Structure 1
Amino acid sequence: MDNRSNIMPKSGSLLISEPFLQDENFVRSVVLLCENNELGSFGLVLNKLSIFKLDELLEDCELTNKEVYVGGPVEQNTLHFIYCGEQLLEDSVALGDQLWWGGDFNELIGKYKSGLVDITNFRFFLGYSGWEEGQLSEELDEKTWIVCDNSHTKKIFKVAPDELWRVILKNMGGDFQVLANYPIDPRLN
């Protein structure tokens, strides 16, 4: 079964870049789709580490030495986060399978200081990936993305970022296992 169809993915789905996508922002990317509607789409690249730690970006940040990922090329001066487990923050948006997007950052810091938050269940992002109205649909028609349901979201926090693209494709089975082994540049194979 080929998940590269024109069916619009829902929030919580993963977009897996096709093996030969050359856009430097999305080479071998796994994007968590946080919002997808008729006005456009919003997602976070899950497997691109930035060079920053959270305490380098925020003054007086209690979350020292926490990795920050590049969520995408749009508005890289903004900070976003996701977490897994039970809902911890009142304004978080459910993405399915105990995966949450956003919430009040001050509430997060307060709960962290009180010992109510396991920060290993959180991932922080600079910027985001965005598509205007109809753009993601066009990219799906062009087979730029492979849509994966949210059954693999627990791997987001357990698999090394540089292995996430390959691991999810392998776990999807069938023809996707073959795609997982494609070299980045087949000319060098």
Structure 2
Amino acid sequence: AENGDQSIPDGDGLRGNNSSDGRRANDFPSQKSHRINFDWREFRANLYTREQAENADTEAHNEGGTTHMSKPLGLKWAHPILVPETGCVLVATEKLDGVRTFERTVVLLLRSGSRHPQEGPFGVVINRPLHKKIKHMKPTNTELATTFADCSLHFGGPLEASMFLLKTGVESKIPGVEDVIPGLCFGARNSLDEAAGLVKKGLVKLHDFRFFVGYAGWQLDQLREEIESDFWYVAACSSNLICGGSSDSLPESLWEEILQLMGGHYSELSRKPKQDP
């Protein structure tokens, strides 16, 4: 997708999704950090894996086949969940093929949102690198032009704001930055000075940052309707998939990788050619 593609065409079923309402990332009301217990997410993933194995064994037994031991949870995992939560991913379905902004995207939900008009769910696309560095955009912000000049840029969504993800390894203590999942937080322009200070002190590394041009946002009911209309699959996945912790996983292949890990008909979709719009 081109970075200039800042709107979604009418008639694609998204009813004005991500139309700008004048918000900027640093205008979002302060909110207590969402702390999701890492063990709890893994525990839930283990339960899901075990349940799937038991269901498969029951089917095999009923059909006279052999049963198999359930596999332990691997380092990389992903499974569907029923409702969006902070730190989950929205995986574009084939219904978004042809919608250039969102086709075959994975959106990391930074906040699951509330019914307040200014506090809807929002996130960033995490599998669309722009193959540009910040310095190529001639930034006016001093820290972007110096400390972060050589950091890579990613397309985050059609709404106008810049955000960054930061791998911390611990719960964040940076003013203006929120935890998404343990070891990963996000910030906006208003927290760049604090983030740059951590770099200069050697507390975090430049390669721990990912910078995004734009973001994706919805009203709460709007996102729910899009999910019910099968525009998005909702999934929980391991932090190393979200954080890009594995060097063998390119951002562009993340859509296929998550669907394959989800298994079943999700895995089948990952191998289907794009649908004509």
Alignment of 1:73-92 (within 5 A): 73-75=158-160, 78-84=161-167, 85-86=169-170, 87=172, 89-92=174-177
Change (3 A) 1:19 1:143: same
Q: Deviations over 1:21-44 (max 9, x none)?
A: 131110100000011222321110
Larger displacement relative to structure 2 (171-180 or 120-129): 171-180
- SS of the residue corresponding to residue 102 of structure 1 reads strand
Residues 1-189 of structure 1 aligned to structure 2 (within 5 Å): 3=80, 7-21=82-96, 22-36=98-112, 37-39=114-116, 40-57=120-137, 58-59=139-140, 60-75=145-160, 78-84=161-167, 85-86=169-170, 87=172, 89-102=174-187, 104-149=191-236, 151-156=237-242, 157=244, 158=246, 159-185=249-275
Q: Flag the structure with larger Rg.
A: 2
More strand by share: 1
Deviation at residue 51 of structure 1 after TM alignment: 4.8
Output the amino acid matched with 1:50.
Answer: L
Q: Is the 8 A contact 2:95 2:230 kept in 1?
A: no
Compute the TM-score of the two structures, normalised by the length of structure 1: 0.86
Q: Which runs of 4+ in 1 moved over 3 A?
A: none
Percent identity, please: 30
CA contact (8 A) 1:20 1:184 kept: no
Higher normalized helix content (fraction of residues): 2
Higher relative contact order (CA 8 A, sep 6+): 1
TM-score by length of 2: 0.60
- Pick which of 166-175 and 123-132 moved more: 166-175
- 8 Å contact 2:151–2:209 — kept in the other structure? no
RMSD value, Cα? 2.1
Contact map agreement 1:48 1:69 (CA 8 A) in 2: yes
Partner-residue secondary structure (3-state), 1:167: helix
8 A Cα contact 1:54 1:61, kept in partner: no
Report which stretch shifted further, 27-36 or 96-105: 96-105
Q: Structure 2: where are the runs of 5+ without partners?
A: 1-51, 53-78
How far apart are the structure 2 equivalents of 1:66 and 1:114? 18
